[in-house]
Amino acid sequence: MNALASLLCARIAQTGPMTLADYMAECLMHPEHGYYSTRDPFGSFGDFTTAPEISQMFGELLGLAIAQAWIDQGRPRGTLAELGPGRGTLMADILRATKGVAGFHEALEVVLMEASPTLRARQRATLGDVRVTWIDHIDQLPEAPVFLVANEFFDALPIRQFHRDGAGWRETVVGLVNGHLAAGKTAPAPMAALEHRLKDVPPGGIVEICPAAAPIAATIGRRIVAHGGLALIFDYGGWRSLGDTFQAISSHAFADPFAEPGNADLTAHVDFEALALAARPAAAAFDTQGRVLGRLGIDARAEALAARLQGHALHSHRAAHRRLTDPSEMGSLFKALALYRATTPPPAGFD
């Protein structure tokens, strides 16, 4: 049993089973043993690879979409923000792609929300001498126009999971079986927050809620409505949570989420409807990653880059293009949500 497992077993023995959300929070962000607190998990030698790590095209296209929105909105002074920037690759690509946009870098302050000290150091290294402000909490996002990106951020936020039982719900909790961590369920009880889901969830059906996500989306929505800006949120998930999507990933494969707490990435699919509802009265546009990148011009950009490549580099460039956009790869499992002012048309990339 690893050190975090021992700590969690001792805690459960004293105070009883913990919610999945508490378990995820400890596994991902425990200051000494947490998955993100202690490592850089990205890339082909890590546990998983994300869109900005797959190809520079992802950040370039997002950068140009944001720059277009910034120009359309009259080139305001404000914030260029990212939530959960990982290695800092996406922000670096956005900044490189927008170098030629007159006034863009001067007008916007780069603000990164990152909880892991290890990854903050990595972001500092990636971004070189770019001026960066790190924040811990979404409330620290300046009261100003905000142009924000978040890729695979919301899936890392802790979820609670409920199984419908009659008119009530049984919550998935983490307890002890023979001294080892294991999932169990509470007795059924009514849940005010899930009252509306009694209509569409059949008996035995599973609903997941992400308590931390709505306040974050709400703050982004408030900033956009009050000051202008745009948020582009990419992640895997769907328009409404249904079913068990809690999963552990280690070395690019599914793993047992309770075997080695802190050593596997724990995630759940993102409920984009919940984000859009929380962000109101900001407007929301929703589509697949493949279609959005297609409308932003990924095919033309891919061809332009391909013209300069050959051999293995060309082959892996083509594979990266496919991986980001093909419906059988990330193209349709991954979704894109844009939050924008309802008084303006949807941003580039969305219908």
Residues interacting with ligand SAH, by CB under 6 A?
A: 36, 42, 50, 52-53, 84-86, 90, 113-116, 119, 151-153, 156
Nearer to ligand SAH, 152 or 271 (CB): 152
H helix and E strand count, the chain: 14, 16
Nearer to ligand SAH, 324 or 339 (CB): 324
Closest CA to 235 of 283, 277, 289: 289
Residue type at 297?
Answer: G
Residue type at 258?
Answer: F
In angstroms, the CA 18 to CA 27 distance is: 12
In the complex, the smallest distance separating the C-beta of residue 85 from ligand SAH, rounded to whole angstroms, is 5
Q: State whether residue 276 is helix, strand or coil.
A: helix
In the complex, the smallest distance separating the C-beta of residue 201 from ligand SAH, rounded to whole angstroms, is 27
Nearer to ligand SAH, 73 or 325 (CB): 325
Residue nearest to ligand SAH (CB): 84
Exposed/middle/buried for residue 134 (C-beta within 10 Å: 0-12, 13-18, 19+): middle
In the complex, the smallest distance separating the C-beta of residue 16 from ligand SAH, rounded to whole angstroms, is 25
In the complex, the smallest distance separating the C-beta of residue 216 from ligand SAH, rounded to whole angstroms, is 9
Nearer to ligand SAH, 55 or 172 (CB): 55
Nearer to ligand SAH, 97 or 156 (CB): 156
Residue type at 144?
Answer: A
In the complex, the smallest distance separating the C-beta of residue 19 from ligand SAH, rounded to whole angstroms, is 16
Bridge-based pairing state of the strands 108-113 and 265-267: unpaired
Nearer to ligand SAH, 142 or 188 (CB): 142
Nearer to ligand SAH, 156 or 191 (CB): 156
Contact present, 119 and 85 (Cβ < 8 Å):
yes
In the complex, the smallest distance separating the C-beta of residue 94 from ligand SAH, rounded to whole angstroms, is 12
In angstroms, the CA 134 to CA 85 distance is: 11
Contact present, 349 and 338 (Cβ < 8 Å):
yes
Nearer to ligand SAH, 186 or 247 (CB): 247
The residues, ordered by sequence, that sit 6+ positions from 295 with a Cβ below 8 Å of its Cβ are 348, 349, 350, 351
In the complex, the smallest distance separating the C-beta of residue 312 from ligand SAH, rounded to whole angstroms, is 23
In the complex, the smallest distance separating the C-beta of residue 261 from ligand SAH, rounded to whole angstroms, is 16
In the complex, the smallest distance separating the C-beta of residue 195 from ligand SAH, rounded to whole angstroms, is 27
Whole-angstrom CA distances from 85 to 14, 183, 203, 349 are 36, 31, 39, 22
In the complex, the smallest distance separating the C-beta of residue 279 from ligand SAH, rounded to whole angstroms, is 18
Nearer to ligand SAH, 86 or 237 (CB): 86
The string of DSSP codes covering 179-221 is TEEEEEEPPPB--GGGGGGGTTPPTT-EEEE-TTHHHHHHHHH
In angstroms, the CA 32 to CA 233 distance is: 29
Distance of CA 115 to the CA centre of its chain: 13
Nearer to ligand SAH, 5 or 21 (CB): 21
In angstroms, the CA 270 to CA 275 distance is: 9
